[in-house]
Amino acid sequence: MYRQIRLHDDDTTFHRILWRDDPSEEIREYGMKRLTFGTNYAPCGAIQTVRDLAETNEPTYPEAAKIIKKDIYVDDIISGSHDLPSALRLQKEIIEIFKSGCFDVKKWASNTNELLEVVPPEDREVSIPLSLNPDKTVKTLGIYWNSKSDALNFKFKYDTDGPLTKRFVLSNIARLFDPMGLLAPITVKAKLFMKRIWASQCDWDELISSVIADDWKKFVAQFTLFPSFEIPRWIQTTPDACLQLHGFSDASTDAYGAAIYIRCVSEDGVISTRLLIAKSKVTPRVLQTIPRLELRAASLLALLMAYVLRSLRHHHFDPTSIHFWTDSKVG
């Protein structure tokens, strides 16, 4: 991606490198004409270039330009449509926009063969026809997606080689990447383990206590279930569906959190409910009252709901369709 973006001539003097092919040669100085991977400016420059490209083409391709500006993370685009004809049109427009900037869009993946058939085989991330093999997944921003079953799943590689120290446990906890909080019941337990280890005041490379170590081994034994754990990607939304958002918050002396569900009622009256996003946090080490923790949970829910409403910009939610729930009776 970076190599496709040329620097302005006035900026090349600030992107210099020193080079020689042999230690006996005199060092030569070069000015880079392209964005260089590893420089602080490169990600920002690349993202801004793509945004400028979308804005330039917005009068011609308004919907595709909006997708490029809103549904992109550096060089990954994750988006979709309610029907195949509009998806094919958006796909063509996105390709045209990037082609105008000399970008080739690669690694196409879809849950529909028709969207892949219009793309050259070398530009596809998955094969046609879509494989039934559950291991054939595409990694999308850290989460694995099986395009055939149209489900999200998680893979966790636990490191078993090493002493159970604070550093070792934290290294394994960091591998639990769950940006949407779909594994919140699991990740919050991992956070609580870290809190217990931190409270024990052991050093980074000191063995944790036998009690915590036994509990940790029981906890990681559950990770063998990860490959069979799948979450449907589609939340059953359609243009004519009646949508509601329900947010729940709760707190305890150990942790507090919030979760938001979407409730969809189709035209024929079929009701479906899906978890959209969740967030959990461990309580501070400084003891706090339950009312204070319940307030923290409610505040977290409000921030989470605001984020969801910004993200679901394609759907209109009437204020009466947004609900907040808490079991706190503290006045």
Same domain, 4 and 124: yes
pLDDT band at 148 (very low <50, low <70, confident <90, very high): confident
What helix, strand, coil percent values describe the chain, rounded to 5?
40, 20, 40
What local confidence, expressed as pLDDT, does residue 135 receive? 55
Q: Is residue 153 over pLDDT 90?
A: no
Q: Which residue in 94, 278, 288, 270 sits closest to 182, CA to CA?
A: 278
Instruction: Return the minimum-mean-pLDDT range out of 180-194, 222-236, 250-264.
Output: 222-236
Indicate which CATH number applies to the domain containing 300. Answer: 3.10.20
Q: Which residue in 187, 181, 211 sits closest to 197, CA to CA?
A: 211
pLDDT band at 225 (very low <50, low <70, confident <90, very high): low
Position 272 in a domain: yes
Same domain, 161 and 57: no
Averaged pLDDT for residues 29-48: 88
Same domain, 200 and 140: yes
Q: Is residue 238 over pLDDT 60?
A: yes
Last residue of a domain, one of 97, 130, 163: 130
What local confidence, expressed as pLDDT, does residue 228 receive? 64
Q: Is residue 252 over pLDDT 90?
A: yes
Position 331 in a domain: no
What local confidence, expressed as pLDDT, does residue 136 receive? 63
pLDDT band at 204 (very low <50, low <70, confident <90, very high): very high
Q: How many residues does the chain have?
A: 331
Range of the domain at 268: 234-326
Position 169 in a domain: yes
Task: Enter the tokens of residue 223.
Answer: 């990770």
Same domain, 113 and 9: yes
Task: Enter the tokens of residue 3.
Answer: 């190599």
Last residue of a domain, one of 70, 96, 130: 130
Same domain, 94 and 173: no
Same domain, 118 and 163: no
Averaged pLDDT for residues 240-267: 93
Q: Is residue 330 over pLDDT 70?
A: no
Is residue 277 within 8 A of residue 260, CB to CB? The reply is yes
The whole-angstrom separation of Cα 174 and Cα 160 is 15
* Count of structural domains within the chain: 3
Task: Enter the tokens of residue 109.
Answer: 């993946």
C-alpha of 297 from chain center: 22
User: 230 by DSSP, 3-state: which?
Assistant: strand
Question: pLDDT digits over 49-93, tens only?
Answer: 999 999 999 999 999 999 999 888 878 888 888 889 999 999 999
Position 108 in a domain: yes
Position 281 in a domain: yes
Q: Which residue in 244, 227, 226 sits closest to 236, CA to CA?
A: 244
Same domain, 194 and 243: no
Same domain, 125 and 15: yes
Same domain, 111 and 140: no
Averaged pLDDT for residues 201-229: 84
Same domain, 223 and 260: no
Tell me how crowded residue 90 is: count the other CB atoms within 10 A of its CB. Answer: 19
How many H-runs (helices) and E-runs (strands) does the chain carry? 8, 12
Same domain, 67 and 13: yes
Last residue of a domain, one of 174, 206, 233: 233
Mean pLDDT across the chain, nearest whole number? Answer: 87
Angle 247-253-255 (CA atoms, 0-180°, nearest 5)?
A: 45
Averaged pLDDT for residues 280-291: 90
What local confidence, expressed as pLDDT, does residue 89 receive? 95
Same domain, 180 and 279: no
What local confidence, expressed as pLDDT, does residue 192 receive? 92
Q: Which DSSP state fits 75?
A: T
